[in-house]
């Protein structure tokens, strides 16, 4: 038997880990048809199927899983050996973030990083899905919200998240002004047994008897507040641009710290990525500045 094509094996590992031929082909700068042809040739050469074509991506057969487990670690080891010599690796940086975090916090600041590091090609993956660094081998880091307990990755705290009541200028005018009446008399959006109870206790105010509506996630509260429907106990990081632009108005200086924080998360391999190390240093500086701003009264 002639020598097994290393490139086809590597492409198989990437396709199997990503679980999607389109994304794998994009990462390899190939067309989907070219990658599919390579996979069929590899299957014919081995004499058994490797990938299961599915409506939403691809899976692996039992034979494909065994090949992945046997070949994948060796290809990873080869890549690590050559990383010090791969200048382009350090010039390409891919970071994943929630859409709200990306648009409201990261992107408005990103210009300073790009200006300071023009040699780095920065790619931002905006997604609600939790990044799987084992499957998405092109991703170098992610910004996550949580308690910092994720297996198999490094997690570094960035800053806390805070809640404060906010409403549209239209609603403020309709209610007669920010200080015209107690907040408990405003149409509040949220869960009566949730964070509002903690906020009213923090502010030393009596909670309302009822709430105008309860929505199932924070982005819906922000949207409803923008539309003048009611007062949201909004996440300050997500609503910062809306507050700064006057599209939302803060109704009280009291801010409530949430149970979750923002984190920088990355796999061990990224510690050898110079572009990531530059981004990590810049990100922590931005996070510290944001945290100091949040500690200021009012």
What is the count of structural domains for the chain?
2
Task: Clarify whether residues 224 and 111 are in a common domain.
Answer: yes
pTM of the model as a whole: 0.65
Asked whether residue 78 is assigned to any structural domain, the reply reads yes
If pLDDT is split at 50, 70 and 90, which confidence band does 251 have?
very high
Q: What residues contact residue 248 under an 8 Å CB cut-off, 6+ apart? A: 166, 167, 168, 222, 225, 226, 234, 239, 242
According to DSSP, the residues that pair with 146 across neighbouring strands are 261
Task: Clarify whether residues 55 and 191 are in a common domain.
Answer: no
Domain ranges, residue 218: 87-298
What is the per-residue pLDDT for 1?
Answer: 43
Task: Clarify whether residues 40 and 168 are in a common domain.
Answer: no
pLDDT digits (tens, 9 = 90+) for 54-105: 877 889 999 999 999 988 888 877 776 655 545 457 789 999 998 888 988 9
DSSP assigned state of 141: E
Looking up residue 80, the CATH number of its domain turns out to be: 1.10.10.10
Nearest CA to 267 among 102, 137, 161? 137
Q: Identify the sign of the CA torsion 47, 53, 57, 62.
A: negative
Task: Clarify whether residues 157 and 53 are in a common domain.
Answer: no
């Amino acid at each position: 038997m002639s020598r097994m094509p290393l490139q086809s094996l590597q492409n198989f590992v990437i396709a199997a880990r990503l679980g999607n031929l389109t994304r794998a082909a994009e990462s390899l700068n190939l067309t989907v048809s070219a990658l599919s042809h390579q996979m069929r040739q590899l299957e014919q050469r081995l004499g058994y199927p490797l990938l299961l074509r599915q409506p939403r991506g691809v899976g692996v057969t039992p034979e494909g899983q065994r090949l992945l487990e046997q070949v994948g670690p060796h290809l990873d080891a080869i890549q690590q050996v050559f990383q010090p010599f791969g200048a382009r690796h350090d010039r390409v940086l891919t970071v994943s973030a929630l859409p709200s975090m990306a648009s409201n916090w990261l992107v408005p600041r990103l210009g300073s990083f790009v200006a300071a590091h023009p040699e780095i090609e920065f790619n931002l993956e905006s997604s609600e899905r939790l990044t799987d660094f084992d499957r998405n081998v092109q991703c170098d880091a992610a910004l996550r919200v949580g308690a910092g307990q994720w297996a198999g990755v490094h997690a570094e705290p960035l800053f806390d998240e805070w809640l404060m009541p906010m409403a549209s200028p239209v609603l403020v005018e309709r209610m007669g002004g920010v200080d015209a009446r107690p907040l408990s008399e405003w149409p509040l959006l949220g869960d009566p047994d949730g964070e509002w109870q903690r906020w009213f206790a923090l502010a030393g105010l009596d909670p309302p008897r009822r709430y105008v509506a309860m929505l199932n996630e924070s982005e819906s509260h922000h949207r409803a507040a923008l539309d003048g429907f009611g007062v949201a106990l909004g996440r300050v990081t997500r609503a910062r641009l809306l507050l700064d632009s006057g599209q939302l108005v803060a109704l009280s200086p009291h801010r409530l710290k949430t149970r979750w924080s923002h984190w920088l998360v990355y796999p061990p391999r990224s510690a050898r990525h110079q572009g990531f190390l530059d981004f990590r240093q810049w990100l922590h500086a931005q996070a510290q500045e944001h945290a100091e701003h949040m500690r200021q009264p009012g």
